[in-house]
Structure 1
């Protein structure tokens, strides 16, 4: 690299006057000779007249008080030193040559030239640096084929410009730029001529703006002749015309304003006009966006229909780094069906509230607050005109949870949590809430164990805890939600429990546990039963006031683990089978608490009485009257196999899981007078095809027979002419997911909004369609792969993915002997080309003999644009939608959105 110190440059500049001709040398020698010669003159005669000498005072006699101090009257040199031509070091290099012209004050660099001066970084084919005029020129050069290459790349601070050529004055900061290319946020700008006035103002001539990746050959751009551009703030243009595929369109504006700030800006959200079949013409998703601060924002959206229907939505997101983040969505719709006066006229109001809040784990390790709320009208997702989400529409439950927990680092440690929950059945419109649930627990205390050392044996492992649980439980309906009746029917209570337990080894191979549990329950409301002679029914009266009951129970269990390996031979494909069994036997005893029971007359005569407890219907149950001695049996099994690996280079056998779990459990009540054996419950599950298929199954086997009326009798089924067990229910589910991109962790797109609405996280019920945000793709977003980068004529490896779920349910409780559920759901997506994507979600119900929800999806990637078509051909959610628009959020209002709303009947 050619590099020269500034001292060398200025040394040459100082001695430049010495490079003169012979005449100048002789003339200079002549003047120097005159200046060094002595000068002589004639003597003059002395004059006779004498000049008298004045009497002077003695210089030694000086009055100190009257003395004055003489100061130096020589002034400093007022000539300022000449300022250096350069104010910093220059670093430069070039591949072919770097030429320094001291006379013209030029530095010329050619071919792969680079120049670094102060905050300027310049790379180009040719660079000319005039350090006398404080100007830099850079341009491209031609290669051997006559094609221009090595375009300039000019960088000053954070601004980067890539023009054909540039002329820049680094003192005045003014510049002339030809065919400049620059990026500003999501915009790419190219101008024929750009004039830079200073750091904050540019004037452009013949400019184009686009969000396409290739600014030289974009799919679309906005063309304008005059532009004032303020980096990081705004762009103001004159007459602006939209050009698509180099074809000017009639879309033009007399002037345009583009905000270029990196921070969010408040602004109007342009609505979409559409013609609906049921509610007339409409303006949808119009509103205003408020950029309130860096930490939170607010969007207010609304729809209006000419038949009087309207909808409003409030969407806000907030976040604070290393502390928390969340978002809130509030939706309200006033829906009118048909016209007033017609028999099918109806009017209804629906709403939905969603709140999600998560706390950063680093914010506070001892306390945590989180929220996940999805509540509102039960029919919101079935009737909403703002979005189409089949997964949420078919879901039967809306649930919410808000929780706060705190840990007190005391000895023993104390944990406290407050939780509010909500569960809503969208079919029955029943709502169950806890406002709130209080839980307090004290860590285990080992009274007989040393502070240090291993806890071994029965006594050292004895430990006790204290747990407190309090609830205020509300059961209501959709119509009474947050009305006075809802709080009037609330039930509250506190449950205290102190478990005392230990564990120890028996005969070395058996693990045993024993526990004694004490519980105390407090209620603020109990009941009193009596017989009402008017209605001839039992009457229940609520009694307000504090009341409590106390219970205790004992339990113990013993279990072990048995391993069994069956070697089939090293030369076999399946070398060995491994079976792991974990049997367990448990015993629990609960005494009778008949002292909490009362009697009442159950008929008008008073001769027949019934027992009851005043704690019936309490949220923590009631004390039991009957004594219970239960012996429980359980067995869990795991099956594995060792097989020869297909990779011949591996010497170790490959482990394959055959059955993840196979569980059997039942119990026997010694104290019961009949039906002592509980039904045998069998469940299991495994994963097949490299863990891509999940298989789960379960069944309930009852050993007792039924009588002619369908009631279980105290007779074994085998003694009644049947088999050993009577299968009362069974179920099986299969979930299978595979893709051509196996192994890619980002294989599937998560349907986060669909899951938050209460649906599934996959697209078995179709992809979530939110009409207020159409920028998101319906398909998965994957990193670039070989298939995506394929540029040939035909690619045989088409990316695809497939997901299906199968569900089978058998019911035989009262000799129904029928398949109550049998359905198959399938979702498939494929890339026909790197830019064309298609997908479908459908299913078939073999019991109802009909096709379930079906959705067809098509999407075309138009580089900076996106086009999609979504169609649900039949059913109550039948609709279609077509969208084409710019992907960039800056120009998201430039779109065409045409759709129909689902034909839904308001109930």
Structure 2
């Protein structure tokens, strides 16, 4: 009875609605709706088979309600919602009588069909050209469906769609699309450039695609490459999976091989591990692991390890065994976020390799040109209340040319800031004792040294050096006679070593040869006598040193002013002179002895070799140690001086009628000292240095010179050049003579600096030509025309370095004049940069240069790239190594294993050219 009255009320409502439309003069059985109309099917539900929830709908342009056929037509940005299901299209027909919805694009004012249907169900969505869906059965038919997940586009033909067709877990279900003629690709075009075409596929959006027999299709043309079946993950986020080879190649040296095959492992939420290998048929292979980790607001880093086994078969043709080179590379970098901890920090990088593993295998400019590898991994803890910092860690240095390795671990340092102990005492802040300051530093260090081939042996640990040093310095700054700064200072230092050198005569260096004496009797002549050798012996030993002094400094100013706007814009010159004089004292350490171990600071050679030892030469048990040895000079009381000079000019600027200060010469300094306790050679050599720049920093000039007030002569007995107590003024009539002169001129030319030079200031310029073109097109809807040709060369730089030296060569013939020899230590020019020729063409000059000293090209490395939408063509060439790489490949992503590579490694290039 209740259902009867319910149907009766519904029928009465519909009758009233029809009478109302008839009274309004409507002669058709459809009702045009106003734009932006929205509603729900709850007003039309008359069947027992109606849905459990109403269907909400809306449209932008118009809506027609067909009461006879029970259909609602929605036009323009139409939208239908039912529970978690959402459907959007430009035209939607909702058949609320049969619970069916149809969606399709609709022509716009130009006749182009726009607004493809977009279906979403609980976060899973896809697009199609046409869609029919039954809300009751949750099934539908779609045509030309497109599912997108990350960079994968799944384009299907006619497909059957089941909403919630499979159960993914206890609480959720996933949609399923059964499609025919699907293509899987990373190309976003409606007609993709490439893809994997399959006749049958089962697609679970955002999760997985299962395909049957399929083949690779390029530009719509099938290729001979077939797959019997496949599983393609469509899930967002990280997941374990196979890494296809990034390169296939044939090497005459190594045979057939492939590079970059491996596996990706997500280790937890914050760590990724990639393990790959390069394998060749002749036995050459590499194993590589790369780990990256990151915790937001805490730290980030990466670790890399490689083992390389390279087989060089060049010697086989000569009847020799193939040469096998093995080596490892190890890298770790860690960075702590600044917000992680206010007083504690841990970070740095470690780089290590053996047997030139990277230089032998990699062809990059960085790998080939790196001579020194350095590492530094440190923990830093600051103590704000103590005004001090503690740093501890590992430091490493490796020379790739000589194979020498030096590792310092542990290397701990503790140092304080400048502390003023009496500043908080009552009284005036200008009191002299409140300006007294001191600093304390200490360091504990262990150093291991050896060759890379024997570094991890017991010998390296036996020859390790370790020690401890701490020192304290104190100073006081006073003002005297208003214009002079007087600074007394003193320092004290202690050094402790766990090993010292023991000197002895090595009998194994004695060389004898048979001979005949003057009487004709056979004798044995000694052609080489025993030499002094040393060895490290364990045992605690230490030495101490201290010094004191007083320095006085001031400033002098000299100016020249010109009236009006000056001469050619020059309005004035200023010369600033900063002289400083220091009187210092240091004791004699040659006769000192360590009171802890009794070890003397210095030992005369005659005590080791009484017959042939030089009484004027000393050796020290602390030689070649990590903190050095004590000063070998006698008691010294001397005066050192320095004069710093600065030359500036004031120039009138016609552009804005202002005056600019230009530094003509920067930091021209003169320094030397005078020893009051020395019997001879009281004056030291005079050092002169200076630097300046031209063209607003484009060119840097650095000069250093050494002048000596004494004559130098060649000692025929020792074969060395030494100073003698004869002044150049008395011998040659000049106060000093030039010993050495060294100059460096370096120019770094970039587009930004050219702008600054000619425009007078830095201006905004285009840094990304491609982005600029895209923005102009969007704003103006016109083709972009390049208005600034310099923008193309923004990433180019040209560097020129010239280093020359002038040395005095003392004549080995008595009475002959000395000569000055000019040498060019370095003279090279270098070009680097990237050029974006068009939106799709780019050229990169990794490095190309010429060394005028050796008259050779310095490792040229060139490359270019062509953007082919979803593909990319690349070519790189290193002619000095005769290596090249050419590839046409899918852009990095899911399908980047599709690649056509052609390359030549350095081993094949060396064999081809015979070097």
**Cα distance change on mapping 1:608 and 1:247 into 2, 3 Å:** closer
3-state SS, counterpart of residue 786 of structure 1: helix
Identify the match of residue 356 of structure 2 among 373, 379, 403: 379
1-side partners of 2:506 and 2:555: how far apart?
59
Identify the match of residue 680 of structure 1 among 687, 712, 715: 687
2-side partners of 1:699 and 1:404: how far apart?
38
3-state SS, counterpart of residue 461 of structure 2: helix
1-side partners of 2:431 and 2:649: how far apart?
34
1-side partners of 2:855 and 2:410: how far apart?
45
Q: Does 1:400 align with 2:375?
A: yes
Would you say the 8 A contact 1:531–1:601 is kept in 2?
A: no
Identify the match of residue 92 of structure 1 among 32, 36, 58: 58
Would you say the 8 A contact 2:377–2:393 is kept in 1?
A: yes
Q: Does 1:355 align with 2:355?
A: no
Would you say the 8 A contact 2:202–2:211 is kept in 1?
A: yes
Q: Does 1:482 align with 2:456?
A: yes
In the other structure, the counterpart of 1:275 is: 250
In the other structure, the counterpart of 1:806 is: 800
Identify the match of residue 435 of structure 1 among 395, 406, 409: 409
Would you say the 8 A contact 2:310–2:325 is kept in 1?
A: yes
Q: Structure 2: any 5+ residue segments left out of the alignment?
A: 1-5, 20-47, 165-173, 511-528, 594-601, 757-766, 810-819
Q: Does 1:589 align with 2:585?
A: yes
Q: Does 1:188 align with 2:153?
A: yes
Would you say the 8 A contact 1:85–1:131 is kept in 2?
A: no
Q: After superposition, what is the alpha-carbon deviation per residue over 1:640-692, rounded to whole angstroms, capped at 9, x for unaligned?
A: 6555375xxxx573757555833424221324531633342413243645x5x
Deviation at 1:570, TM superposition (A): 6.7
In the other structure, the counterpart of 1:880 is: 884
Identify the match of residue 622 of structure 1 among 618, 624, 629: 629
Q: Does 1:178 align with 2:165?
A: no
In the other structure, the counterpart of 2:857 is: 851
**Cα distance change on mapping 1:359 and 1:901 into 2, 3 Å:** same
In the other structure, the counterpart of 2:723 is: 713
Deviation at 1:137, TM superposition (A): 3.3
Q: After superposition, what is the alpha-carbon deviation per residue over 1:449-490, rounded to whole angstroms, capped at 9, x for unaligned?
A: 117999544311212233211111222222321211111111
Would you say the 8 A contact 2:326–2:355 is kept in 1?
A: no
Would you say the 8 A contact 1:227–1:236 is kept in 2?
A: yes
- Count of equivalent residues: 793
Q: After superposition, what is the alpha-carbon deviation per residue over 1:780-823, rounded to whole angstroms, capped at 9, x for unaligned?
A: 98761228978869968582343222122223333432213212
**Cα distance change on mapping 1:700 and 1:436 into 2, 3 Å:** farther
In the other structure, the counterpart of 2:830 is: 825
Superposition pairs of residues 57-76 of structure 1, within 5 angstroms: none
Q: Structure 1: any 5+ residue segments left out of the alignment?
A: 1-8, 23-81, 745-779
TM-score, scaled to structure 1:
0.78
Would you say the 8 A contact 1:601–1:608 is kept in 2?
A: no
Q: Does 1:317 align with 2:292?
A: yes
Would you say the 8 A contact 1:527–1:615 is kept in 2?
A: yes
Mean alpha-carbon deviation: is it higher for 461-470 or for 511-520?
511-520
**Cα distance change on mapping 1:608 and 1:109 into 2, 3 Å:** closer
Would you say the 8 A contact 1:329–1:355 is kept in 2?
A: yes
Q: Does 1:515 align with 2:489?
A: yes
In the other structure, the counterpart of 1:633 is: 642
3-state SS, counterpart of residue 884 of structure 2: strand
3-state SS, counterpart of residue 137 of structure 1: strand
What CA RMSD, in Å, does the superposition of the two structures yield over aligned residues?
A: 3.9
3-state SS, counterpart of residue 434 of structure 2: coil
1-side partners of 2:546 and 2:18: how far apart?
122
In the other structure, the counterpart of 1:786 is: 773
Deviation at 1:607, TM superposition (A): 8.9
Would you say the 8 A contact 2:440–2:471 is kept in 1?
A: yes
**Cα distance change on mapping 1:181 and 1:812 into 2, 3 Å:** same
Q: Does 1:890 align with 2:904?
A: no
Q: Which has the higher helix share?
A: 2
2-side partners of 1:578 and 1:159: how far apart?
76
3-state SS, counterpart of residue 893 of structure 1: coil
Deviation at 1:308, TM superposition (A): 2.9
Mean alpha-carbon deviation: is it higher for 122-131 or for 473-482?
122-131
Mean alpha-carbon deviation: is it higher for 354-363 or for 237-246?
237-246
Q: After superposition, what is the alpha-carbon deviation per residue over 1:375-398, rounded to whole angstroms, capped at 9, x for unaligned?
A: 1225333322xx212232122211
1-side partners of 2:288 and 2:364: how far apart?
17
Identify the match of residue 835 of structure 1 among 811, 825, 840: 840
Superposition pairs of residues 300-315 of structure 1, within 5 angstroms: 300-315=275-290
Deviation at 1:543, TM superposition (A): 3.8
Deviation at 1:353, TM superposition (A): 1.3
1-side partners of 2:874 and 2:490: how far apart?
64
Mean alpha-carbon deviation: is it higher for 343-352 or for 390-399?
343-352
Deviation at 1:881, TM superposition (A): 1.5
**Cα distance change on mapping 1:291 and 1:414 into 2, 3 Å:** same
In the other structure, the counterpart of 2:877 is: 871
1-side partners of 2:7 and 2:877: how far apart?
77
Would you say the 8 A contact 2:776–2:784 is kept in 1?
A: no
Would you say the 8 A contact 1:186–1:888 is kept in 2?
A: no
3-state SS, counterpart of residue 314 of structure 1: strand
**Cα distance change on mapping 1:114 and 1:644 into 2, 3 Å:** farther
Deviation at 1:865, TM superposition (A): 0.9
3-state SS, counterpart of residue 479 of structure 1: coil
**Cα distance change on mapping 1:743 and 1:151 into 2, 3 Å:** farther
1-side partners of 2:839 and 2:701: how far apart?
37
In the other structure, the counterpart of 2:274 is: 299
Would you say the 8 A contact 1:584–1:635 is kept in 2?
A: yes
3-state SS, counterpart of residue 592 of structure 2: helix
3-state SS, counterpart of residue 821 of structure 2: coil
**Higher gyration radius (CA):** 1
Would you say the 8 A contact 1:728–1:812 is kept in 2?
A: yes
2-side partners of 1:721 and 1:219: how far apart?
86
**Cα distance change on mapping 1:888 and 1:336 into 2, 3 Å:** closer
2-side partners of 1:481 and 1:416: how far apart?
29
Mean alpha-carbon deviation: is it higher for 506-515 or for 825-834?
506-515
2-side partners of 1:365 and 1:678: how far apart?
49
Mean alpha-carbon deviation: is it higher for 626-635 or for 494-503?
626-635
**Cα distance change on mapping 1:152 and 1:614 into 2, 3 Å:** same
Deviation at 1:184, TM superposition (A): 0.7
**Cα distance change on mapping 1:678 and 1:434 into 2, 3 Å:** farther
Deviation at 1:87, TM superposition (A): 4.3
Q: After superposition, what is the alpha-carbon deviation per residue over 1:387-440, rounded to whole angstroms, capped at 9, x for unaligned?
A: 21223212221111111112235x324421112111111112222221121111
Q: After superposition, what is the alpha-carbon deviation per residue over 1:618-658, rounded to whole angstroms, capped at 9, x for unaligned?
A: 32222224234341314153646555375xxxx57375755
**Cα distance change on mapping 1:581 and 1:563 into 2, 3 Å:** same
Q: Does 1:16 align with 2:28?
A: no
Deviation at 1:227, TM superposition (A): 1.8
Deviation at 1:576, TM superposition (A): 4.8
Superposition pairs of residues 125-164 of structure 1, within 5 angstroms: 125-130=90-95, 134-164=99-129
In the other structure, the counterpart of 1:239 is: 213
**Cα distance change on mapping 1:698 and 1:103 into 2, 3 Å:** farther
3-state SS, counterpart of residue 197 of structure 1: strand
Would you say the 8 A contact 1:419–1:437 is kept in 2?
A: yes
2-side partners of 1:728 and 1:869: how far apart?
48
Would you say the 8 A contact 1:189–1:215 is kept in 2?
A: no
Deviation at 1:325, TM superposition (A): 1.7
3-state SS, counterpart of residue 441 of structure 2: strand
Deviation at 1:204, TM superposition (A): 2.4
In the other structure, the counterpart of 2:706 is: 701
1-side partners of 2:902 and 2:243: how far apart?
18
